[in-house]
Chains A and B, each alone.
Chain A
Amino acid sequence: MEKVKDLLQMVNIEKNFPGVKALKGVNLNVGYGEVHALVGENGAGKSTLMKCLIGLYPVTSGEILFDGKTIDHYSTAQALTMGISMIHQELSPVLYRPIMENLWLGREPLNRFGFVDHQEMYNKSLKVLQEIELDEDPRTLMVNLTVAKMQMVEIAKAISYDAKLIIMDEPSSALTEHEEQQLFKIIRKLKSKGTSIIYISHRLAEIFEIADRVTVFRDGKNVGTEFIDQLTMDQIITMMIGRTMDEMYPKIPCQIGETILEVKNLSHKKYFRNISFEVKKGEIFGIAGLVGAGRTEVIETIFGMRPKISGEVRINGKLVEIKNPMDGIANKMGFLTEDRRATGIFAVLGVDSNIAIPNYDQFLSKIGLVDDKAVTIGCNEYVEKIQIKTPSLNQAIQNLSGGNQQKVLMARWLMTGPDILFLDEPTRGIDVGAKAEIYKLITMLAGEGKCIVMVSSELPEILGMSDRIMVMHEGKMTGLLENSPDLTQDTIMRYATGTQDDF
Chain B
Amino acid sequence: MRHQNRLQEILTKYGIVFVLIVMIVAMSMIKPSFRTLNNILNILTQCSVYGILALGMTVVIVSKGIDLSVGSILALCAVIAASLGQSNTASTKYFVNMSELPIIVPILAGLLVGALCGAVNGGLIAFTGIPAFIATLGMMTICRGFAYIYTSGKPVSTLIPSFEFIGQGRLLGIPMPVVVYLIMIIITKILLNNTRFGKRTFAVGGNINAAEVSGVNVKKILLWVYTYMGLCAGVAAIVSTGRMVSAQPGLASGYELTAIASTTIGGTSQSGGIGTVWGAVVGALVLSVMRNGMTILGIQSYLQQIVEGVVIIVAVILDMRKNARKA
Please tell me if the beta carbons of A357 and B214 are within 8 angstroms of each other in the complex: yes
In Å, the complex CA distance between A120 and B84 comes to 71
> Which residues of B lie under 8 Å from residue A396 when comparing CB positions?
326
Please tell me if the beta carbons of B196 and A361 are within 8 angstroms of each other in the complex: yes
In Å, the complex CA distance between A368 and B194 comes to 9
- Given A346-B206, A349-B203, A353-B202, are A370 and B214 neighbors across the interface (CB < 8 Å)? no
Please tell me if the beta carbons of B215 and A347 are within 8 angstroms of each other in the complex: no
In Å, the complex CA distance between A324 and B214 comes to 10
- Given A342-B209, A348-B206, are A357 and B199 neighbors across the interface (CB < 8 Å)? yes
In Å, the complex CA distance between A347 and B269 comes to 13
Interface presence of A345 (CB below 8 A): yes
Interface flags for B197-236 (1: CB within 8 Å of A; 0: not) read 0111011001101111111110000000000000000000
Interface flags for A19-47 (1: CB within 8 Å of B; 0: not) read 10000000000000000000000000000
Please tell me if the beta carbons of B196 and A343 are within 8 angstroms of each other in the complex: no
Please tell me if the beta carbons of B210 and A360 are within 8 angstroms of each other in the complex: no
Please tell me if the beta carbons of B273 and A325 are within 8 angstroms of each other in the complex: no
> Which residues of B lie under 8 Å from residue A19 when comparing CB positions?
5
Interface presence of A337 (CB below 8 A): yes
Please tell me if the beta carbons of A370 and B213 are within 8 angstroms of each other in the complex: no
Interface presence of B327 (CB below 8 A): yes
Interface flags for B171-206 (1: CB within 8 Å of A; 0: not) read 000000000000000000010001110111011001
In Å, the complex CA distance between A342 and B206 comes to 11
Output the nearest chain B residue to A330 by Cβ-Cβ distance: B215
Please tell me if the beta carbons of A372 and B202 are within 8 angstroms of each other in the complex: no
Ordered by A's residue number, 25 sampled pairs between the chains whose C-beta atoms are within 8 Å are A19-B5, A325-B213, A326-B217, A342-B209, A344-B207, A345-B210, A346-B202, A346-B210, A347-B206, A347-B207, A348-B206, A348-B269, A348-B273, A353-B199, A353-B202, A357-B200, A357-B214, A358-B215, A358-B216, A360-B199, A369-B190, A369-B195, A370-B196, A398-B327, A399-B326
> Which residues of A lie under 8 Å from residue B245 when comparing CB positions?
none
Interface presence of B274 (CB below 8 A): yes
- Indicate which residue in B194, B216, B271 contacts A369 across the interface (CB closer than 8 Å): B194
In Å, the complex CA distance between A368 and B199 comes to 13
In Å, the complex CA distance between A305 and B212 comes to 9
- Indicate which residue in B196, B272, B273, B327 contacts A360 across the interface (CB closer than 8 Å): B196
- The total of chain B residues at the interface (CB under 8 A) is 28
> Which residues of A lie under 8 Å from residue B200 when comparing CB positions?
357, 360
> Which residues of B lie under 8 Å from residue A346 when comparing CB positions?
202-203, 206-207, 210-211, 273
Please tell me if the beta carbons of A325 and B215 are within 8 angstroms of each other in the complex: yes
Residues of A within 8 A of B (CB): 18-19, 305, 324-326, 328-330, 335, 337, 342-349, 353, 356-358, 360-361, 364, 368-370, 372, 396, 398-399, 412
Which of A348, A353, A369 gathers the greatest number of chain B CB atoms within 10 Å? A348
In Å, the complex CA distance between A482 and B5 comes to 57
- CB proximity of A339 to chain B, nearest CB, Å: 9
- Indicate which residue in A330, A347, A356 contacts B199 across the interface (CB closer than 8 Å): A356
What does DSSP make chain B's interface, helix, strand, loop or mixed? Answer: helix
Sorted nearest first, the 6 A-B pairs with minimum C-beta distance are: A346-B206, A329-B215, A369-B194, A360-B196, A348-B273, A343-B209
Please tell me if the beta carbons of A357 and B216 are within 8 angstroms of each other in the complex: yes
- CB proximity of B107 to chain A, nearest CB, Å: 25
- CB proximity of A406 to chain B, nearest CB, Å: 13
Please tell me if the beta carbons of A412 and B203 are within 8 angstroms of each other in the complex: no
CB contact list, B120-149 vs A, under 8 A: none
Output the nearest chain B residue to A370 by Cβ-Cβ distance: B194
Output the nearest chain A residue to B191 by Cβ-Cβ distance: A369
- Indicate which residue in A345, A361, A372, A412 contacts B194 across the interface (CB closer than 8 Å): A372
Please tell me if the beta carbons of B209 and A412 are within 8 angstroms of each other in the complex: no
> Which residues of B lie under 8 Å from residue A335 when comparing CB positions?
213
- CB proximity of B101 to chain A, nearest CB, Å: 33
Please tell me if the beta carbons of A345 and B207 are within 8 angstroms of each other in the complex: yes
Output the nearest chain A residue to B323 by Cβ-Cβ distance: A348
Please tell me if the beta carbons of B213 and A349 are within 8 angstroms of each other in the complex: no
- CB proximity of A303 to chain B, nearest CB, Å: 8
In Å, the complex CA distance between A342 and B207 comes to 8
Residues of B within 8 A of A (CB): 5, 190, 194-196, 198-200, 202-203, 206-207, 209-217, 269, 271-274, 326-327
In Å, the complex CA distance between A369 and B273 comes to 20
In Å, the complex CA distance between A324 and B274 comes to 27
- Given A349-B202, A399-B326, are A326 and B207 neighbors across the interface (CB < 8 Å)? no
**Further 15 A-B residue pairs, CB within 8 A, beyond A19-B5, A337-B213, A345-B210:** A324-B212, A329-B215, A335-B213, A343-B207, A343-B213, A345-B207, A346-B203, A347-B207, A348-B271, A349-B203, A353-B203, A358-B215, A358-B216, A360-B196, A370-B195
> Which residues of A lie under 8 Å from residue B195 when comparing CB positions?
368-370
Please tell me if the beta carbons of A412 and B207 are within 8 angstroms of each other in the complex: no
- CB proximity of A301 to chain B, nearest CB, Å: 13
Please tell me if the beta carbons of B210 and A344 are within 8 angstroms of each other in the complex: yes
> Which residues of B lie under 8 Å from residue A356 when comparing CB positions?
199
In Å, the complex CA distance between A364 and B194 comes to 9
> Which residues of B lie under 8 Å from residue A337 when comparing CB positions?
210, 213
Which of B190, B212, B214 gathers the greatest number of chain A CB atoms within 10 Å? B214
> Which residues of B lie under 8 Å from residue A368 when comparing CB positions?
195
In Å, the complex CA distance between A357 and B209 comes to 13
Please tell me if the beta carbons of B327 and A325 are within 8 angstroms of each other in the complex: no
In Å, the complex CA distance between A328 and B214 comes to 10
> Which residues of A lie under 8 Å from residue B206 when comparing CB positions?
346-349, 353
- Indicate which residue in A326, A342, A364, A398 contacts B215 across the interface (CB closer than 8 Å): A326
Which of B190, B198, B199 gathers the greatest number of chain A CB atoms within 10 Å? B199
> Which residues of B lie under 8 Å from residue A357 when comparing CB positions?
199-200, 203, 211, 214, 216
Output the nearest chain A residue to B325 by Cβ-Cβ distance: A18
- CB proximity of B208 to chain A, nearest CB, Å: 10
> Which residues of B lie under 8 Å from residue A372 when comparing CB positions?
194
- CB proximity of A415 to chain B, nearest CB, Å: 11
In Å, the complex CA distance between A345 and B217 comes to 17
In Å, the complex CA distance between A360 and B215 comes to 11
- CB proximity of B23 to chain A, nearest CB, Å: 29
Output the nearest chain A residue to B207 by Cβ-Cβ distance: A346
- CB proximity of B202 to chain A, nearest CB, Å: 6
Output the nearest chain B residue to A341 by Cβ-Cβ distance: B207
In Å, the complex CA distance between A343 and B125 comes to 20
- CB proximity of A36 to chain B, nearest CB, Å: 29
In Å, the complex CA distance between A357 and B214 comes to 7
- CB proximity of A347 to chain B, nearest CB, Å: 7
Please tell me if the beta carbons of A349 and B5 are within 8 angstroms of each other in the complex: no
> Which residues of A lie under 8 Å from residue B194 when comparing CB positions?
369-370, 372
In Å, the complex CA distance between A19 and B1 comes to 9
Output the nearest chain A residue to B196 by Cβ-Cβ distance: A360
> Which residues of A lie under 8 Å from residue B217 when comparing CB positions?
326
In Å, the complex CA distance between A399 and B5 comes to 18
In Å, the complex CA distance between A347 and B273 comes to 9
Output the nearest chain A residue to B200 by Cβ-Cβ distance: A357
> Which residues of A lie under 8 Å from residue B190 when comparing CB positions?
369
Output the nearest chain A residue to B217 by Cβ-Cβ distance: A326
> Which residues of A lie under 8 Å from residue B326 when comparing CB positions?
396, 399
In Å, the complex CA distance between A120 and B203 comes to 48
> Which residues of A lie under 8 Å from residue B216 when comparing CB positions?
357-358
